[in-house]
Chains A and B, each alone.
Chain A
């Protein structure tokens, strides 16, 4: 049965509880990843030099996650192929004698520069998409920043006490070889689940989040 009357001193006890948990979570220490704490890190405990908008003064980033760097391989490979295409075309005698000789030189110059500008843009947008797609676990909440193709970005936040369950999957040869996978966090909040895709050491990330959930009672 719910208590209708709560004595004054008991009320104060109840108020103090969340603060106790808050303090406890901020005391939670994870070993620092000094080796991996740089701007291109994919998995970083207690990172230095990272902050996000709306971060509280007493809020500490415990875990910083981003897709594994190996996931950049596809766009890097495509970029290298695209860079090497025009010089290869010059070595094809048929093209050189027919198409290239019929196009005025100034048109050719502008076209080649424009082509390389587009390749540069493709590489830059791909890198920025990887760079800004991050997930942050603080002592208070989980922040998931989704950023795709520079036309869409979504920042989702959930408080740690709303986290209900976490699990991870590591399927496939590359995932096992480079030790990365997907972490799924289910919450009782508006956004039912947070997906951290292709992050390194998914089991460590799940352990850290589970430790934090243990501190925060539901």
Chain B
């Protein structure tokens, strides 16, 4: 009984302390969407980013701090396509926040764009497959732009008072982004048609945009850790294909890629994968600046040999 009174008291206190004109609170599952929200809304919203570039977002746990963040969100912005299947539904149910369970309070980026690698057969013998296609869409700036447009509309819907700001910031972002895309595409021209080996199949959208061919993955099946036998089987194809690089994300174990690099002479490159993945990737622009320049660096070092 005492506890019930205490709970009621806490609840009343919480309600009373809520300012009348509160900013829209947004929970972003991944740093790239946090950065995009900043581009679109600046200081008009409060953004909590749930994960960092040094974390593998497939395997996040529904930890207490995340439950607390989701509890107070008006909108969650996540990748979707089952990338967060292990933890986001858990966070939503544990937080008891009805606003973001479905409807306008839930924004899934991958649902806004066409996804690649949608499996025709769903069988976990093929590893941790995602029925809605490969979820790692943030590495294609074209898709990022589509997400930006749809996300901006959602912000305006939820927070009509700032709609004009959101529209203006989208126009500004769009201009800068299109210009940057042209620049990146021009810089990346030498990469077209080159071959890469990846740690996990998280780069398909980048390759699709740049015209790069993926010839192998260090994981024998998606989400199955690299094995010695599988790595050994990659040596010949990596050596014989004039391979540009062995690509891994900032959060991934560097050892398998280094092992293969040592045996093939093909450089292992750590790409940021999302905002915060290296010093240069402070925002979405930096993410692609860094990604392109690191791939070009690999191209040059390969050529130097």
Partners in one complex: no
Binding site for A on B (CB under 8 A): none
